[in-house]
Chain A
Amino acid sequence: MDIFLQQLINGLTLGSIYGLIAIGYTMVFGIIGMVNFAHGDVFMVSAFIGLICVLLLTTVIGISSIFLILAITLVVAMVFTGLVSWAIERVAYRPLRGSFRLAPMISAIGMSIFLSNFVQVAQGPRNKPLPPMVPDVIVLMERNGYQVTLAYKQIIIMAVTAGLLFGFWWLVQKTPLGRAQRACEQDRKMAALLGINVDRTISLTFVIGAALAAVAGVMYLMYYGVVNFADGFVPGVKAFTAAVLGGIGSLPGAVLGGLLIGLIETFWSAYFSIEYKDVAAFSILVVVLIFMPQGLLGRPEVEKV
């Protein structure tokens, strides 16, 4: 029971991070129907931008309030990662929009290789550790010497995720931009005929997805305290798994899928074997796609001639 509760907390934290990345996949897939392979690496880039920003704020400017540092880092990482993602869409995906379906995917794989190697060249191949941020924990219960703890940083991660999701939901459901996005998702040509700037809407979709990935990146940095140039691939694939599990194209589905993947991964590591935790996540992807290709909350795909 104690272990179960602890793993539940850990799993929800990890799942929040996956969920934030998964939204980027699901939004882009919804609007232009491509798997943005570079999204995992955008997440990794955002964690590096966060690292630089934290170092700048602590060692050069000398701010000591951890919450101020986190808030500034979040904003800076969101802005710069959004810019990176905007540039990627502009350079690598937009020229290929009218092309056949594989072209943007190959371009995205190239972009993913480019980004991880760019960070390796610019920042060096070694792990970048940070001193632990927000190390305090709350002891929820204690029995036979086993403590169930809830760390402050876990609370921060879950709270920020929940808050952002609310804001994001509001953006998609209530603002003109969200309406334009949903319109483009349904029928791009019709939306363009009705006076929606489709290019701008798609660009903004990429920027928003990247901003959410940047939040995930900063949270990842804070939670694990270390980041490496190769850290984009596996979280990226898992977040994609989450998006598929929840039903690709569905925003609540992405979050639900993220939480489920996080929980499955932590419980698998705790009760079975930690070596095969990635195998477990990938196997779930395969099983879900085979038996429920539309995902948990997705609409079934209608085949048209």
Chain B
Amino acid sequence: MADHRSDLWEREDTPPEGAPAPQPAPPAPPAEAVLLPALKDAVLTGIITGLLLLPLVGFRATESGSGPLTLTYRFGLVSVFAGLVMVLRLVLNLTVWRPGRPPRAKSAALAGVSQRIAPALKPAFFAFALLYPFIAIVFSGSLSLSRYWVDLGIYILTYVMLGWGLNIVVGLAGLLDLGYVAFYAVGAYTFALLSSSVPLNAFFDAHVAEGFWASWSFWVCLPVAGLLAGLWGIILGFPVLRLRGDYLAIVTLAFGEIIRLVLINWVSLTNGGAGISSIPPITFFGVPFNSGDDGFAAIFGLDYNSMHRMIFLYFVILGLAALTALATIRLRSMPVGRAWEALREDEIACRSLGINTTLTKLTAFATGAMFGGFAGAFFAVRVRFVSPESFTFMESAVILAIVVLGGMGSQIGVASAAILLIGGMELLRNLSFLKADFLFGSDFDPSLYRMLIFGFAMVAVMVWRPRGLVANRMPTIFLKERKAVSGALVKEGHG
């Protein structure tokens, strides 16, 4: 009995760090013992794939004018897919999943390199973000040609900021929020409604200066939008914070949907599904981006180019995102941030130690919501049009996916996940080369497959790395020695 016990203990011991665990390779089974089961398994997988695809790919209910639906058949496509899956499975069975294959040891040299470059990663990242518009201009040849790339940068940074904002709620405090887009919507609509409001415009014209509201509204409304979104975070958070885990997720989802439905149906305030389109453009702290004498270009002695506004927008969102990151880093080392992380790890222990859990959760909710509101106001001034269409559940799902894929709580992970996901989605939009005759033909629409691939990638990444891209976490407070905590040791979402 004693022997057995010591054996158990030994096996649970972890190998010394860096060195690959010495594992005796099991004797390789004979070739036919591998091939036959692999073949059987592959054929079975192929048959199942065929059956799965048969009803919805094999048949298609086609509209013929205004008449009844007719069926068209695509059995060839089904068999091609089934065959592909079968071959892929067979290849995998014989290579990666081959029984008796020694597990690949993690390269020690690679781990050393990644450890050495880790401290330089964040400054490099930030420097690249700062220089990005100029790099884009240099590589695309001229200011006007870089429009697409700068726009893409703004788009990605918006999601980086949203991811960092949600990271406070999900990653730090461990509260699963599926309705984050509600606060994004509150911010966007706050700015849109205030800036396009005629009475406000008239009031400021009469009392402050002519044209004041048109040029300053964004800078005045940005904090207002953040505060209002934070207030909504408290209003929505207060009743639901007694709930735990999944229930909280569903209630926040319901709130997100309620806000969207109210935006659609309250036509007298929000103009319903048609949206609000008379939003004034952003100004350089009061100086408009136009070709006039008092415009940005004239004052700074540049040739007028509409790209100036875009580049300014880029730096505004970069600043907002940096603000979010900085605030998060500072908050993490303050009592409230410590309380968030403690709450994520164990709510009951938190309560026993005298932490006011309701207040702690509310601050997390409100802080996250506030950054969502900032991002919303920015979104409204960038697009200059808001409608409920932009604030669907899909948007919340994408932001949450960014946070989780990035490895919850890790700032750099969230940023990389945003770049990967949003950049990847944008890449899929540009797959027009697939329209070539020798591939799929000109009636093939690659953009249809964008969300299909996105959904599939979400599942695949979760299965491949359930802990996200950056699964290690540095504790903010430590005894004697700072040690990275593997993500597998941290539990989340018991809020």
Contacts and interface: CB of A to CB of B under 8 A. Distances in A.
Interface of A: 29, 34-35, 45, 48-49, 51-53, 55-56, 59-60, 76, 80, 83-84, 87, 91-92, 95-96, 99-107, 109-115, 117-124, 126, 128-131, 233, 237, 240-241, 244, 275-276, 278-279, 282-283, 285-286, 289-290, 293, 301, 303, 305
Contact of B458 (A80, A83, A84, A110): A110
A104 B397 CA distance: 14
B71 A55 contact: yes
Q: Is the interface of A mostly helix, strand, loop or mixed?
A: helix
B254 A286 contact: yes
Contacts of A124: 60, 62-63
Nearest to B461: A110
14 contacts: A48-B56, A51-B61, A52-B56, A101-B492, A107-B463, A109-B401, A113-B451, A115-B455, A121-B452, A131-B68, A286-B251, A286-B254, A289-B250, A290-B240
Interface in B425-474: 448-449, 451-452, 454-459, 462-463, 466-467
B164 to A, nearest CB: 18
B459 A244 contact: no
B71 A123 contact: no
B287 interface: no
B462 A96 contact: yes
Given A52-B71, A110-B456, A279 B59 contact: no
A289 B240 contact: yes
Contact of B52 (A83, A283, A285): A83
Interface of B: 48, 51-52, 54-57, 59-63, 68-71, 176, 239-240, 242-247, 249-251, 253-255, 257-258, 261-262, 264-265, 348, 393-394, 397, 400-401, 404-405, 408, 448-449, 451-452, 454-459, 462-463, 466-467, 491-494
A220 to B, nearest CB: 16
Contact of A240 (B54, B71, B250, B462): B250
Contacts of A91: 459, 463
A66 to B, nearest CB: 16
A145 B250 CA distance: 44
A128 B240 CA distance: 39
Quick one: which of B59, B255, B265, B459 has the most chain A CB within 10 A? Answer: B459
A102 B404 contact: yes
B493 A103 contact: no
B373 to A, nearest CB: 21
Contact of B455 (A56, A111, A244): A111
Contacts of B249: 35, 105
B400 A109 contact: yes
A92 to B, nearest CB: 5
Contacts of A53: 55
B448 A237 contact: no
Contacts of B491: 100-101
B397 A109 contact: yes
A286 B239 contact: yes
Given A102-B492, A278-B261, A123 B462 contact: no
A59 B72 CA distance: 11
Q: Which of A51, A60, A105 has the most CB of B within 10 A?
A: A105
A293 B244 CA distance: 9
B235 to A, nearest CB: 12
Nearest to B246: A35
Contacts of B68: 59, 130-131
A244 B56 contact: no
Nearest to A88: B459
A17 B456 CA distance: 29
